[in-house]
A and B are shown apart, each in its own frame.
Chain A
Amino acid sequence: MSEGPQFLDALKSRFGDHIRGVNLDNIDPWVEVAPEAIVEVCRFLKTDPDARFDMLNCISGVDYFQPDPAKAKRAGFEPHLEVVYHLSSTITKHTLVLKVILPRWKDDQPGQLPELDSVAGVWRTADWHEREVFDLMGVYFRGHPGLKRILLPEDWEGHPLRKDYELPLEYHGIRGR
């Protein structure tokens, strides 16, 4: 019951260039939102009487990076990170997919996490989900009430779901690789 296209006109007229693109060919159509507009778009989708996406199902981070240089030429994408929001409504039972595209590192400096505004103020589900994306994928959420690691220990280094992640040699006396 994917309802992407219906809200598209309303979204486009309201947010203009902040709606960067739409993919209707995919099985679950998605809407690409500019990183600076994600909070306003989410708040609009939650409160708009036609949309009423009151439930945030999932926030996922996807790393598009091919560590193998031989394969990188054929990969068909530029290295980037995607943060994917799956929304649904308990009232209208519609679903919607939002995407934000971020650079892999802020200012292309390895080690500097890319930043994105937190939507924890819109749905409280986002609190833990954003902590998980930060923990495993390395995205810094500005304005999050308490951004810290959730699944991994607090002194862990690196973000394991990055494609170029390497296990530490040693962690508190435990051999890693």
Chain B
Amino acid sequence: MATANREQIIELDVRTDELLVNMGPQHPSTHGVLRLVLKTDGEIVTHVEPHIGYLHRCAEKIGENLTPRQWIPYTDRMDYLAAMNMNLGWSLCVEKLLGYELPEKARHIRVIIAELGRIASHLVGMGTYGLDLGTFSPFLYAFREREKILDLFEEVCGARLTNSYITPGGVTGDLPAGWLEKCEAFLDQFVPVITEYHTLLTTNAIFIQRTAGIGVISREMAIDYGCTGPVLRGSGVDHDLRRDGEERYTEMYDGYAFEVIVEKDGHYPRDHDYPPVPPEAVLGDCWHRFYVRMLEVMQAIDIVREGIEFYRASSGDWGHPIKLNTKLPKGEVYLETECPRGQMGFYLVSDGSAIPWRVRARSSCFCNLSVTEELCRGCLLADVAAIVGSLDIVMGEIDR
């Protein structure tokens, strides 16, 4: 046999069979009930197919049979790690249809609550990402702090996870006496804790090796797939609905000073306070998505502090929820808000009665997850968990 062909022969000789690996739906690193069907050639993943729908609860169909306020508890159960932000999106959508003007005080309550929700959600995202990569302790640290935010939520509305606090027309009740002081005390002790997280994960050599340069989403790919939130900003796209969104949403943040967390010319805003970007990291990789979340936590703390000052200075009413059977004007509205995981949109079609004709929830994770098919093609089997974890998905929101 000709020697020239020898290399080819050897390659054919050691080729392994294609193996079908079923990951999930009960796999710890799939964040709920996601099933990934992987085709692998040795250690290399050649094809990934996500199967979703295990948590489908017909939320849109139920919304066609309930009034908007009755549907609020169903929004809680979409992204159950950021229930407050889900309530906010639906409330704003209904208020947009009603043309409701929100009192000043309710606006600041909503900002404080929504940003606390963002911190709590990103803490879970950070902790579970550590779990995906095989380190257990950051999870415990993250849940310790999240617990304190849940305690604050409990004091405000009685519920810890499925809050139903923000409703069309305002919120269900004013902040209780002494709550602001407790919130400030929490923020004061929380700031130094973040340094611990950076030591545990952000600057950890093993963590950087597992995440830097892995699962790179380019700008164009992120926009094409409709990725939003930290996934989009981690790819260097300067887009945040708190600044760029619809007026009804951005006016909530009027007077608040904050920067969109996105890399510009190799620098993140205020990144002198944080550990620098390691040289191995590429814009759009898992590490950058994680980093954007960490910086958003810091930024959310500042916004909550601003909100507390604004709330103290504001006077008047905190807003009252609309009546349960308020008649909706005929028409249709669509509104997206910047939730911790991306842009959550609600679409409401009304035929003029108290019950919407059609309710539609546009899920951010639904679009973020659709990118895995292309992203995981050709990566190592062990990196699938790292990539899916870095998208920070919640199945409740995807399946609705």
| Chain A residues proximal to chain B, CB less than 8 Å | 1-2, 26-28, 54-58, 60, 62-63, 75-76, 84, 86, 90, 93, 95, 97, 123-125, 127-128, 132, 136, 149-153, 160-161
Contacts and interface: CB of A to CB of B under 8 A. Distances in A.
Contacts of B331: 26-27
B225 A150 contact: no
B336 A124 contact: no
B360 interface: yes
Contact of B370 (A63, A128, A153): A128
Interface of B: 52-53, 56, 58, 60-61, 96-97, 223-226, 232, 237, 239, 244-247, 331-334, 336, 343, 345, 347, 349, 351, 357-358, 360, 362, 366-367, 370, 399-400
A57 B343 contact: yes
B345 A160 contact: no
A27 B366 contact: no
A86 B164 CA distance: 27
Contacts of B53: 149-153
Contact of B56 (A84, A95, A151): A151
Given A57-B362, A127-B370, A153-B53, A160 B58 contact: yes
Contact of B61 (A76, A125, A160): A160
Which of B56, B226, B349 has the most C-beta atoms of chain A within 10 angstroms of its own C-beta? B226
A128 B96 CA distance: 28
Contact of A86 (B334, B357, B400): B334
Contacts of B360: 58, 60
Given A58-B345, A128-B367, A160-B61, A63 B358 contact: yes
B52 A151 contact: yes
A90 B52 contact: no
B378 to A, nearest CB: 18
Contact of B362 (A1, A28, A58, A160): A58
Given A63-B358, A160-B58, 13 more contacts: A1-B246, A2-B246, A27-B333, A56-B226, A58-B360, A60-B358, A86-B345, A90-B237, A95-B246, A125-B224, A125-B370, A150-B52, A153-B53
B225 A62 contact: no
Contacts of A123: 224, 226
A161 B239 contact: no
Contacts of B351: 75-76
Contacts of A150: 52-53
5 smallest CB-CB distances across A and B, nearest first, come from A125-B226, A151-B53, A58-B362, A60-B360, A128-B370
A111 to B, nearest CB: 21
